[in-house]
Amino acid sequence: MRAGDAVTPDAVARNRAFVERLNRPLTERGERTAVSLFSGILGIEIALGRLGFSTRYAIDLDPVAKAVKDANARHLGTFPYVAGDLRSVEPQEILEVAGLEPGELTILTGGPPCQPFSKSGGRSGVLDERGRLFARYLDYLDVLRPQAFVLENVRGMVSSRGGADFRLILDAFDESGYTLYWKVVDAANYGVPQFRQRLFLVGFRERIRFAFPRETHGSDEDTEQTLFSDVQPFVTAGDAIRDLAGVVAPPPYSGQFAHLLSAIPPGLNYSYYTAERGHPQPIFGWRSKYWYFLLKGHPERPSLTVQAQPGNNTGPFHWDGRRFAVEELRRLQSFPDWLSLDVPYYVAHRLIGNAVPPLLAEAIGASVADALDGRELISKTDYLAARAAATLRVRSGSGAGKGKAKLDAPLAA
């Protein structure tokens, strides 16, 4: 912890370093190409743009996401962005618009709707029509035949319906012939000021050896015990937004329980008002509400996950007892300051909460690019041995938010 450092030179320097990192420009378009499905506000594509990839096509059902892309074309580029249903656009049409032949595309990206696999979405999995859109992703994979693909989703996809959904999805991708690797990662371990666990499924057209990127950030315990001297402390919410204090206009927060928020200490939630926490006049029963109910962020820790569809009492709230402003939410998700979001507050909240943090996507994308450059092949024997040995290990702890994921497995025979 770095208590009491809100105005120290070190705190100011950390803030400046973070802002400079997330505001790096996209590079000149290179030979590597990308096609984006379920694109949203292009968190993955911003990351790939910094790595020299040229996005040739993007599609998302949400017309507001397309409007955001169009408003930011000066930074993002002028590639086609279609606001439409993926099921109504044929893969061959994408190849024609993108000016590509089958097999020429470097990387296909996308995160099918996560709601069917999340707790807030009821975890209906593939029983929900949206949960079956991964099959449409496979249609594009079969026709475009990219060198690699990256699919992102919530951690809950792994355990949806007792793991049955993930096994079904893996079996389907297994039939594509791609060499598959998967991992649940926490964005905070890659310099994002937010604990946000997400599943990444990465595939290669050839049997290429691949390793997910080494974690670059960790808790105080991690930085002391690691063998790597360059592991840095987590980027905290305070590190990310310190320079915005006093210059943002957060929306008003009102409601039945809004008056309770100011007294809750940073890092706590409604449980502050329970007998178990020692409150002299308890208002709520212990564990009677969901975790994010009146949850207040802490300036000396990464934020907990920014929700796409927050209820009136759903946090994380700012430690000053208010909602985070759009500019602050954008920082917590590691989007650059130049990304204009000239839309109503809760629309911007949804777009940000649904997005892949660019700094996390950049780490994944860089590892994919390195694997394609190295083209080191893995033997079938080694591959199957690694697959058989793969396990899910989640370590909870003071520096790990709701649990730190350690999940890494190749998955194709």
Catalytic residues: 114
Comparing C-alpha atoms, which of 141, 152, 148 is closest to residue 204? Answer: 148
Q: Which residue bears the tokens 């061959």?
A: 92
Show the CA angle centred on residue 308, arms to residues 17 and 338, nearest 5°: 35
**What span, in angstroms and rounded, lies between the C-alpha atoms of 350 and 175?**
34
**What span, in angstroms and rounded, lies between the C-alpha atoms of 38 and 134?**
11
**What span, in angstroms and rounded, lies between the C-alpha atoms of 74 and 81?**
14
**What span, in angstroms and rounded, lies between the C-alpha atoms of 37 and 86?**
8
List phi, psi (to 5°) of 95.
-60, -40
As to burial, measured by CB atoms within 10 angstroms (0-12 exposed, 13-18 middle, 19+ buried), residue 383 is buried
List phi, psi (to 5°) of 203.
-130, 150
Contact (CB, 8 A) for 49 and 25: no
What is the Rg, in whole angstroms, of the alpha carbon atoms belonging to the chain?
21
**What span, in angstroms and rounded, lies between the C-alpha atoms of 378 and 311?**
47
**What span, in angstroms and rounded, lies between the C-alpha atoms of 103 and 335?**
31
Distance of CA 83 to the CA centre of its chain: 22
In sequence order, what are the residues at sequence separation of 6 or more whose Cβ sits closer than 8 angstroms to the Cβ of residue 282?
A: 273, 274, 275
**What span, in angstroms and rounded, lies between the C-alpha atoms of 52 and 45?**
10
Cα distance between the two ends of the chain: 45
User: Is the preceding omega at residue 316 within 30 degrees of 0, hence cis?
Assistant: yes
The DSSP string of 300-311 is: TSPBPPPPSS--
**What span, in angstroms and rounded, lies between the C-alpha atoms of 149 and 169?**
15
Contact (CB, 8 A) for 134 and 172: yes
Partners of 308 in beta bridges = none
Contact (CB, 8 A) for 351 and 332: no
